[in-house]
Amino acid sequence: MNTQMKAHLLSTTDLNREAALQILDTAEELARVSDMPIKKMPTLRGRTVVNLFFEDSTRTRISFEAAAKRLSADVINFSGKGSSVSKGESLKDTALTLAAMGADAVVIRHSMSGAPHRLAHADWMDAHVINAGDGTHEHPTQALLDAFTLRQHLSDHITDRAEGSTGLDGLHVAIVGDVLPNVHLLNTLGAKVTVVAPPTLMPLHTDNWPCEGSYSLDEVLPNVDAVMMLRVQHERMDGGFFPSTREYSQRYGLTVQRAATMPDHAIVMHPGPMNRGLEIESRVADSPRSVIVDQVRNGVSVRMAVLYLLLGGSESALGDGVA
Ligand code: CP
């Protein structure tokens, strides 16, 4: 396999169309492992993957662990809580410790934007670094699993079927909320993105972003192929970005009535964790339109693909494990 990924996965802006497609196509092949009675292939035997989580996570942490184990890597789970980080140990000393343990890849979640970049570019260790979410900045594997899920459910609805189509070309995706790392990847893959948010949450820099903006969810919904509801961050509620959760819910919450205005084929997504009853009504989250559980399932395949491509799994190993 001709691996085109960089040595690290830090940002979706690092991925061109070809590299992003390579990950999605590899994930599609690897998804077959998850359907087998024995969900295991030998590709990364002898390699060590460290999950370095300084912040809480359910989906990302568990799915990286499952992905690494399905590829037969050794997995070390490190949580900031309960470690020497709580005694004040620095990121550098933590990295040196991981290097001494022979980490081949480090999956890092951190509340500070740029922490994965610091880990990747400082001369502290010789491991591949994967950004598993750094504050509100980037979450590239989330963006990739979202793109994978869109392609899985909607590729039959695209009008642009030219050779080389990504399976997302021409799709219209609305992203509702204030954390927008998905915009760049969706644009790279040919989708049209509309960001929907109250004026106080609309990022100021969207002028330079490859997307449109709207303050009205009701106007946008009848014209979308998919809507991604993003979690309202609790600090936003406390920070006066909107008058009340009730008002946010009334204007921007995806209710059953609003979901009914979407085209029949349109899907509902949410990266989790959800605030049920705030940005999304429970009955919508659990409705046939919702692909939220598929997003979680696809996260394992996409993270397997990222580990496989970064750590240099061989073509024959892929064949051995999947064929
Ligand atoms: N979507 C997401 O990153 O979820 P977790 O915080 O549970 O990992």
Task: Indicate if the pLDDT at residue 114 is higher than 50.
Answer: yes
- Mean local confidence (pLDDT), 158-184: 82
Tokens 């509309």 sit on residue: 194
Sheet holding 172-176, edge to edge: 212-214, 192-196, 172-176, 226-229, 267-269
Higher pLDDT, 149 or 99: 149
Do 110 and 231 belong to one domain?
no
Do 203 and 62 belong to one domain?
no
Long-range contacts of 76-83 (CB under 8 A, 24+ apart): 76/48, 76/49, 76/50, 76/51, 76/101, 76/103, 77/50, 77/51, 77/53, 78/50, 78/51, 78/52, 78/53, 79/53, 80/53, 80/54, 80/55
pLDDT in tens, 41-70: 999 999 999 999 999 999 999 999 999 999
Choose among 282, 247, 318: nearest CA to 28: 318
CA–centroid distance, residue 108 to ligand 1 (Å) = 13
Does the Cβ of 133 fall within 6 Å of ligand 1?
yes
What is the average pLDDT value for the chain, to the nearest integer? 88
Give the active site residue among 12, 26, 48, 60. 60
CA–centroid distance, residue 157 to ligand 1 (Å) = 28
Domain, as residue range, for 225: 140-291
Do 232 and 275 belong to one domain?
yes
**Predicted confidence band at 156 (pLDDT cuts at 50, 70, 90)?**
confident
Residue nearest to atom 6 of ligand 1 (CA): 57
Active-site residue flag, 3? no
pLDDT in tens, 249-289: 999 999 999 999 999 999 999 999 999 999 999 999 999 99
Do 76 and 181 belong to one domain?
no
Predicted local confidence at residue 161, as pLDDT: 62
Q: Give me the percent of the chain exceeding a pLDDT of 90.
A: 67
CA–centroid distance, residue 179 to ligand 1 (Å) = 13
| 148 HSE (CA, 13 A, CB side) | 32
Predicted local confidence at residue 57, as pLDDT: 93
Predicted local confidence at residue 76, as pLDDT: 95
Does the Cβ of 135 fall within 6 Å of ligand 1?
no
Q: Which of 52, 53, 54, 57 has the most ligand 1 atoms within 8 A of CB, as the residue to mutate?
A: 57
Active-site residue flag, 118? no
Looking at ligand 1, which atom is closest to the CA of residue 58?
7
Query: Any idea what the CATH number is for the domain that residue 306 is in?
Result: 3.40.50.1370
Predicted local confidence at residue 3, as pLDDT: 45
Active-site residue flag, 59? yes
296 conformational bin, left if phi > 0, alpha if psi -120 to 50, beta if neither? alpha
Task: Indicate if the pLDDT at residue 319 is higher than 50.
Answer: no
Number of domains in the chain: 2
Predicted local confidence at residue 73, as pLDDT: 97
**Predicted confidence band at 37 (pLDDT cuts at 50, 70, 90)?**
confident
Do 114 and 170 belong to one domain?
no
> How far apart are the C-alpha atoms of 282 and 225, rounded to whole Å?
21
Looking at ligand 1, which atom is closest to the CA of residue 61?
8
Contact 58, 272 (CB under 8 A): yes
Does the Cβ of 295 fall within 6 Å of ligand 1?
no
Predicted local confidence at residue 87, as pLDDT: 83
Domain-embedded: residue 65? yes
